[in-house]
Structure 1
Amino acid sequence: MISAHAKESVEHIFFRAIRSRLTMEASDVCEIVPADAHGAHSLSDGNLVILTISGIAFRLLLILQYDEDERTQSYFLREESERPFLEVFLEICNLCCGAVNQELLQYFPDLGMSTPYVLSARCRPYLEALKPEFLASYSVSINDAVRLGATICMCAHAPIDFVAEASALEDTSGELELF
């Protein structure tokens, strides 16, 4: 019930949000590649941040897997020495989900976002129990140092077919646009 165009559009919108919200500097290099066939992200157990966007026609889970190692903490905390890593990281993840939600609102007017929550990465195999029509996993690398996993899990309650505008799909990665 989810067309190939819709899957591609959701994927590109998610990638755009990752590149614009999870990178801390415009000059940071963010690479996103498909995870291996078993959905492994080359991370240790780690945790999952679950972000949900729901509408009348679908439920979309955006899942970010992370290890709370020193490189990840120092990258996302930067000068934030007062707040704990998880608080800062959840806020950044929520901004990423908000960017996806904002893009999708152009095609689906009644969407809602949940508060992000954290689960053990051992819960990841249970995504299949949701019977998603679109399930895809990716490995994300920022500056070739920070490693994250990213998963799209989309369950449809009605046929979904849309094509995101080309301007929304372009990766401008910090380019300055002149008018």
Structure 2
Amino acid sequence: MISAHARDSFERIFRQAAEARLPLDAGDLCEIAPLAEAGLGASKDSQVVVLTISSIVFRLLLILRFDEDDSTRAYYLKDTADERHFQEVFLEICNLCCGAMNQALLRYFPDLGMSTPYVLNARCLPHLHELKPSLLSSYSVTLNGTVRLAATVCVCAHAPIDFIADTGALEETSGELELF
């Protein structure tokens, strides 16, 4: 139900959003590589942040797997004056990444809605096939060689989808709230 062009477009939109929003600083190295399976490398304590973008023709889940280890905490809590908890900061970053995807997809699907992020145990990842996704792509994401995340893009199509995304420039937004 999802054309090869649409698959490529969803993947390019994800990569561009991840490279722009997951690193804290523009100069930070963000390496993204395909993963064979969504749950690869997950420890029993791994968690996932789940965000949803929904339209009339599809539901997209952006799932970001993380371990709240020392390197991840240190990276996302750089500012010692920031008294927020790690999860609060990380959910905000994940929301910005999904928001960038949402903005890019709005050019082709004007009827989108986006959920607030929620956290689950990563043991739910093997059950994604129960959703009968038309597209399921997983990636390892490494920031500055030390922070290791994983991302899964899961798209469940309710109708045929075919589009070619122009990912030439990501719109700069500051994470403003959209009301529906």
Give the TM-score of the pair, scaled to structure 2.
0.90
Shift of 1:165: 1.3
In the other structure, the counterpart of 2:112 is: 111
Letter in 2 for 1:79: D
**Given residue 138 of structure 1, which amino acid in structure 2 is its aligned partner?**
Y
**Pairwise CA RMSD:** 1.3
Tell me the CA shift for residue 40 of structure 1: 4.1
Q: Which residue of 1 aligns with 2:138?
A: 137
Q: Distance in 2 between matches of 1:144 and 1:15?
A: 17
Amino acid at match of 1:62: L
Report the residue type matching 1:147 in the other structure: R
Per-residue CA deviation, residues 90-115 of structure 1 (Å, 9 max, x unaligned), is: 01100100000000000000000001
Q: Distance in 2 between matches of 1:20 and 1:30?
A: 9
d(CA) in 2 for partners of 1:126, 1:164 = 29
2:78 maps to 1:78 = yes
- TM-superposition CA deviations, 1:16-68 (whole Å, max 9, x none): 11111010111111111011x33344342310000100000000000000000
Q: Distance in 1 between matches of 2:29 and 2:40?
A: 18
Distance 2:20 2:27 in 1: 11
Aligned length in residues: 168
Deviation (angstroms), 1:168: 4.2
Work out the percentage of aligned pairs sharing the same amino acid: 62
Q: State the SS of the aligned residue for 2:141.
A: strand
Match of 1:174 in 2: none
- Give the unaligned 5+ runs of structure 1: 170-179
1:97 aligns with 2:98: yes
TM-score normalized with structure 1 length: 0.90
- Name structure 2 gaps, 5 residues minimum: 171-180
1:49 aligns with 2:23: no
Q: State the SS of the aligned residue for 1:159.
A: coil
Report the equivalent of 1:173: none
Q: Which residue of 1 is the match for residue 173 of structure 2? A: none
